[in-house]
Structure 1
Amino acid sequence: MANCIRALCNSDAKGGFVFGKDAALPETTVRTPQNLLRDLGGKPASKRSILAFFAGSMHGYLRPILLQHWGNKDPDVKVFGKLPKVKGRGKMNYPQYMKSSKYCICAKGFEVNSPRLVEAIFYECVPVIISDNFVPPFFEVLNWESFAVFVLEKDIPNLKNILLSIPENKYREMQMRVKEFFAASVWNI
């Protein structure tokens, strides 16, 4: 392995990732193989009524902490375990929450990365990365701070204040960059 270049989806700075040698790649889940681009995109910045959103399995040590601090605690920060399958009017599903949120929380699970990061970008939602040792995909060429927010794991209790401290014009600029990155990264399938 000493002479190999590794391409990793779970690029862990403390887990052997070698800066300048290894490559950090995005992790994603193919939801609808028949139509890969179905339901992508999101609402304009002015129509996103939810400050922050997360839903997912409670694996790893960090997600239960996130749920403990934010689950059903604040109407602006929507944090759930797994979302149930919803049917009927007025019920929101996972993509609808992402499309309606300014910030999408990408909290580590068992690994430092999550497919949620790519999903946030697909739904034009500014990613909030909560994973202290995560090396973002293509970090050598992308300025992640221009379109994502990094929150230290220990700062989960201050999450809402951190996000509210970002001026509206800075948020809109970040969301515009997410949209640009999304448009540039989707292949014609």
Structure 2
Amino acid sequence: MLSISYQVVCSSSYFLSGYLPHKDASIPQIWPRKGPSPTNAPSRRKKLAFFVGAMNSRVRENFVKTWNNDSEIMVHRGSMKTPYSEAFEINTARIGDALYYGCVPVILADHYDLPYADILNWESFSVIVSSLDIPKLKQILEAIEYHHYVKLQNNVMKVKKHFQWNSFSKDFDIFHMVMYELWIRGSHLRHIY
């Protein structure tokens, strides 16, 4: 009998030792929160993008260097003392936070397995940009027509339940999605070996 093991990881970079792309499963980094999430309507959003984070990769360093002084792409190095929802428009670069606040995630990640990649069509609720296109980010975001942006944001509102931790698991929450992802991966790999 062949035994196959799977990892469930928060960071699914292809360059992490021990992580096997497309075999191991990626789980979104989510902080448990209580109550309904705040959400601004698409028409009330004034910024193209918002980033906050540590300078722990070349992609982030390049992003901050390129967009640090832009008025439409808000960049903040390190952590913030003020909550996102109070300091800025309700936007963030972190996928889990973006979804919590009802924002369309802009994902700059090459060589990375997105959570639930076998289940969700990420292009239906996010904008995925190659890190090589960081200098063209504003042009890429401005080219998204308003009706398409509204469609992306409506899909965010539909999928955000898949990115929530609950004290007791609820249908289609993060626990169910991870279990389903593992089942799909297991079914697929059993046929390969």
Shift of 1:37: 2.2
Q: 1:68 is paired with a residue of what secondary structure?
A: helix
Shift of 1:184: 5.1
The residue number in structure 1 matching 2:73 is 77
Which of 90, 102, 122 lines up with 1:124 in the alignment? 102
The residue number in structure 2 matching 1:146 is 124
Q: Report how many residues are paired.
A: 163
Write the distance in 1 (CA, Å) between the matches of 2:55 and 2:96: 19
Contact 1:41/1:99, CA 8 A, preserved across alignment: no
Give per-residue Cα distances to partners, 1:87-116, cap 9 Å, x unaligned. xxxxxx423466544xx43xxxxxxxxxx1
Higher helix content, 1 or 2: 2
Pair 1:59-2:37 in alignment: no
Q: AA paired with 2:140? A: I
The residue number in structure 2 matching 1:17 is 20
Give per-residue Cα distances to partners, 1:8-64, cap 9 Å, x unaligned. 211224544242x3222111245xxxxx22572311111111111111211222211
Shift of 1:181: 1.1
Q: AA paired with 2:153? A: Q
Which residues of structure 1 form unaligned runs of 5+? 31-35, 87-92, 106-115
Shift of 1:185: 4.3
Q: AA paired with 1:172? A: V
The residue number in structure 2 matching 1:176 is 154
Higher strand content, 1 or 2: 1
The residue number in structure 2 matching 1:68 is 65
Q: 2:75 is paired with a residue of what secondary structure?
A: strand
Matches for 1:44-55 after TM superposition, within 5 Å = 44-55=41-52
Q: AA paired with 2:42? A: A
The residue number in structure 2 matching 1:110 is none
Q: 2:50 is paired with a residue of what secondary structure?
A: strand
The TM-score normalised by the length of structure 1 is 0.76
Change (3 A) 1:38 1:81: farther
Matched-pair identity in %: 32
Which of 21, 28, 31 lines up with 2:30 in the alignment? 28
Rg comparison, structure with higher value: 2
Q: AA paired with 1:6? A: Q
Provide the alpha-carbon RMSD of the alignment: 2.3
Which residues of structure 2 form unaligned runs of 5+? 168-193
Q: AA paired with 2:123? A: E
Change (3 A) 1:84 1:149: closer
Change (3 A) 1:184 1:26: closer
The residue number in structure 2 matching 1:111 is none
The TM-score normalised by the length of structure 2 is 0.74
Change (3 A) 1:82 1:38: farther
Pair 1:94-2:84 in alignment: yes
